[in-house]
Amino acid sequence: MDKILVAIDGSKHSPRVVDFAVQLAESINGSLLLVNVTPDMPVPEGYSEYAKEEGVAPGGYSEEISRGVLENMADRVKGVKFETASAVGNPAELILSIAKSKRATMIVLGVFGLHHLSRIRSLGSVARRVVENSDLPVVLVP
């Protein structure tokens, strides 16, 4: 069975990417691997206070963001077998690494993500790096 890695970032384009991947998986009787990679970023002061009050580790900020993105998009997946994966670090590198370790047969991601660069100017930097470095077919969704 084909496994399609679907890289999502929580941008306004993520639902379109997931919807496309669901249709693709249905058409080839495949499964989905929804992946969110959150760049390693400083924990905002407000979250640190929240974590302190709630008794949770403030280091879980990026993981919490990733979990939320995956939960929101998982609600869009109906009738297709899927799993989720998340990571913190360099998005392009980790998307490729997860694709390899999970034995994906294809990668689907948006043309641009959170930075909203015009597609006329360039592909998003993550999309460009994935395309340039992937051994797998990559489908870009506008």
In whole angstroms, what is the distance from residue 95 CA to residue 5 CA?
Answer: 8
In terms of Cβ atoms closer than 10 Å to its own Cβ (0-12, 13-18, 19+), residue 31 is middle
> Within 13 Å, how many C-alpha atoms sit on residue 29's CB side?
1
Kindly report, residue by residue over 18-46, the tens digit of the pLDDT.
999 999 999 999 999 999 999 887 777 77
Q: How far apart are CA 125 and CA 110, in angstroms?
A: 11
Question: pLDDT tens digits for 119-134?
Answer: 444 557 899 999 999 9
Work out the pLDDT band at 114, boundaries 50, 70, 90. very low
In angstroms, rounded to a whole number, what is the distance separating the alpha carbons of residues 110 and 142? 6
Domain limits, the chain: 3-141
**Fold of the CATH domain 3-141:** Rossmann fold (3.40.50)
